[in-house]
Amino acid sequence: MIDAGRPYLEPHPDLVRLLALFPYIQEYEALANEHGIRDIFQDNGGKLLQLLLNTGLKVAPGQMGADAKDADDHKYELKSVNLDKTSSISTNHHLNLRLLANFRSYEWVIATYRDIYLHEVYVVRAAVLEERYFARWEQRLRDEPIDHLNNPKIQVSHVRQHGTLAWFYVGGRTWRLSRDGDDYFADDGCFLVQATRADQAAGVATKGTWFAQRADGENPERIVGTSPDELPREVILRATGRWGPVGQSS
């Protein structure tokens, strides 16, 4: 604001709240620094830290190669998208043939968010992005009088259809795909199962009810408000393949 011809800045009353929160923000920044992230407010650094810690990936050093690597030194391209804002995934604002070659050489880890909350993590092989995306982008770069593409997009629907869902959040738990690819397990040891016909007949569940089942088989916990329409598509496919369609006895 201007007061008597001189600039005068008056703090907002909520500055007090921000100052009270700032030590926790500094802790977040310090934790991010330990994992190779230098600024949680730049380049989705805060979200990247969530992704790394939930997947066990590590930041890959260098600016021109892969974004991350796993314990076996496999390299990954990392991308994220806020589903509350868009259904398309950004790639690079200056995508040229050299960067496209990099894209083709790594597997991809694509994280979906709901605002600041990590929602799903997919592992996507470069091969499933080739025909619909990479080949078309290369054709444009070779045929058109341009030296780069400005941030071509990948659709979330394509990732969900062709990628492997490795992690997701639902029913108050985070779920991870087991090493053998047969089950989704929560950190507390539960695995995800669907209601059987017997459950429905006993009146403990309706069609579309899902349970967090403990490994000992006792006292399954109903995931209230969760139906197949609200679960990631791949969860439904894996569960129905193992336990039978909803409404049939396992």
Active site residues: 67, 77, 79
Sign of the CA dihedral with 37 first, then 39, 40, and 45 last: negative
CA-wise closest residue to 177 among 163, 196, 194: 163
Three-state DSSP state, 80: strand
Q: How far apart are CA 160 and CA 205, in angstroms?
A: 28
Q: How far apart are CA 178 and CA 185, in angstroms?
A: 7
Torsion-angle region of 55 (φ positive above 0: left; ψ -120 to 50: alpha; else: beta): alpha
Sign of the CA dihedral with 94 first, then 100, 106, and 107 last: positive
Distance, C-alpha 177 to centroid of its chain: 13
Q: Could you give the residue ranges of the DSSP H alpha helices within the chain?
A: 15-34, 45-55, 97-105, 127-129, 135-143, 156-162, 197-201, 233-243
- What residues does 224 pair with on adjacent strands? none
